[in-house]
Amino acid sequence: MSSVTAAAPKRTRIRGPVTWWKDPWRKPHVLRAATWVYMVWSLAPVLVAVMFSFNNGRSRSSWQGFSTQWYIGKNLPGGAYSVFANPALRTALVQTLRLATITTAVAVPLGLAFALGIDRWHGRGSGTSNFTMLFSFVMPELVIGVALFFVFGQALTMVPPGTWQQALGLIVFQMSYPVIIIRARLLSIGRQYEEAAMDLGAKPTQSLRRVLLPLLYPAIFASTVLVFADCIDDFVVVRALGGPSTSETISMKLYSGYRSAPTPAYNALATIMLVLTLTVMFIGLFVFGRNAKKEGKKQDAAEAFAVSI
């Protein structure tokens, strides 16, 4: 912590590198440099990709000047399409948002109810259900995608391929986020508030709605944001369950387009996706930060958010 470095006594500048290295109170310059190199390495490539979406030419690797042609341009040279001139890419954008909305709207309430039930119900079966849910959480996405593809193809054939299958599959895969986040919050809240409410005459449903639910709002909110953002980016499940071409999402377009005919239009598409996710996350962070302040907590909002992830 900073107290350690602050307590470091002033020393003479001249000393050998070995002494410097062995000094336990020296400032962590090497670590700081490594951290910053890591940060740049992890984030700069994305910024470069965003930059190339504004490239005034077909290249995605050398800069030819600024233009917004890959977003809104018409009649581009060589028959290339910009994002908004290509109806397929527009459809993909709509499909992505539609799937994310449906999934969030179902997965979060489902996960909330599941978390409450599992947390309070100590009978036979609660342990098994919890284990199954966690198992679905750690299972590689490809396994879930393929398994769902089989079950929709061979058993649940009444579910049409495309949006329906994708949404149902995504909900299974995303439900565990709200469950995990809300359960963690439930554990930290404890039962005393509810019990106090019921001692004061509240019925179970009243104490749940008027006492417990408001206490859970931050967790519910965090999981909503997380699920929505994750749905926008989801690729494996959505692709395994994709039906007609109208059910292709941005991520599927990125994957297929990047391999067949790469143009900066795909960078533009990825940038739009990034902006979508970032908007959702920033709204989340903003509201979450305000909530945390209201509760009088000193913990940094970002830190709380990170821990909840």
Residues 24-43 that bind another protein (CB under 8 A): 24, 28, 31-32, 34-35, 38-39, 42-43
Is residue 117 a contact point for another protein (CB under 8 A)? yes
Q: Which is nearer to another protein, 99 or 232 (CB)?
A: 232
* The binder of another protein chosen from 5, 19, 64, 101 (CB under 8 A): 5
Q: CB 76 → another protein: shortest distance, Å? A: 19
Answer for the pair 119, 296: CB distance below 8 angstroms, yes or no: no
Stretch that binds another protein, among 65-73, 74-82, 86-94, 234-242 (CB under 8 A): 234-242
Is residue 210 a contact point for another protein (CB under 8 A)? no
Tokens standing for residue 270: 């990825």
- Considering only residues 65 to 94 of the shown chain, the ones binding another protein according to CB under 8 A are none
Separation of alpha carbons 189 and 120, rounded Å: 13
Is residue 263 a contact point for another protein (CB under 8 A)? no
Q: CB 138 → another protein: shortest distance, Å? A: 5
Number of chain positions touching another protein (CB under 8 A): 104
Is residue 110 a contact point for another protein (CB under 8 A)? yes
Is residue 261 a contact point for another protein (CB under 8 A)? no
Give Cβ neighbours of residue 308 (< 8 Å, ≥ 6 apart).
Answer: 181, 184, 185, 219, 222
Tokens standing for residue 17: 């590198």
Q: Which is nearer to another protein, 74 or 259 (CB)?
A: 259
Give Cβ neighbours of residue 84 (< 8 Å, ≥ 6 apart).
Answer: 71, 72, 90
Q: Give the residue among 245, 268, 280 at the shortest CA–CA distance from 101.
A: 280
Stretch that binds another protein, among 69-77, 78-86, 213-221, 251-259 (CB under 8 A): 251-259
- Cα within 13 Å of Cα(51), Cβ side: 11
Q: Give the residue among 268, 266, 281, 277 at the shortest CA–CA distance from 231.
A: 277
Q: Quick one: CA dihedral 235, 239, 245, 247, positive or negative?
A: negative
Is residue 141 a contact point for another protein (CB under 8 A)? yes
Answer for the pair 70, 257: CB distance below 8 angstroms, yes or no: no
Q: Which is nearer to another protein, 121 or 217 (CB)?
A: 121
What is the three-class DSSP state of 37? helix
The structure tokens 């342990």 sit at: 127
Length of the chain in residues, anyone?
309
Is residue 291 a contact point for another protein (CB under 8 A)? no
Q: Which is nearer to another protein, 129 or 246 (CB)?
A: 129
Is residue 258 a contact point for another protein (CB under 8 A)? yes
